[in-house]
A = this chain, B = another copy of it.
């Protein structure tokens, strides 16, 4: 049974690590999109969807999900430089875009101040034929449950 409050799977945190920075002394830009995807994975897991039910695995490890969810678009906006050791709070806002697609918006805050935003847009496709298809049932539940707690979501 999934947790009842979106805050448990839509409010995450992480620290900036030394390897995320570049010679300007601050986070190198594309690392933010890695953090977005890792937050998305952590959110699904906290909601109760194990990785093996969403992401492909090698044949010898068992069946992969029938539906893949590749990213077809992403963007990020950088407001403040991020330093090694900075603790970031990440708020996710997943939303369905019709029956075959969804997007996730990610807000990053440090000490209550917005520092960056990210967005990933995903299309459901059949893992074999790669034609668009309906979103898997688990993802639909996650999207729906995520929309129920509107009031608690920071923007």
Contact = CB atoms under 8 A, between A and B. Distances in A.
Interface string A32-48: 01100110011001000
A37 B17 contact: yes
Given A70-B24, A73-B75, A78-B72, A34 B58 contact: no
Task: Place the interface of chain A in its size category.
Answer: 35 or more
B85 A78 contact: no
Nearest to A50: B85
Interface string A46-87: 000011100111111100000010111111111101011100
A111 interface: no
A51 B84 contact: yes
Nearest to A39: B17
9 contacts: A21-B23, A23-B58, A26-B58, A29-B70, A30-B37, A30-B74, A33-B33, A55-B85, A74-B76
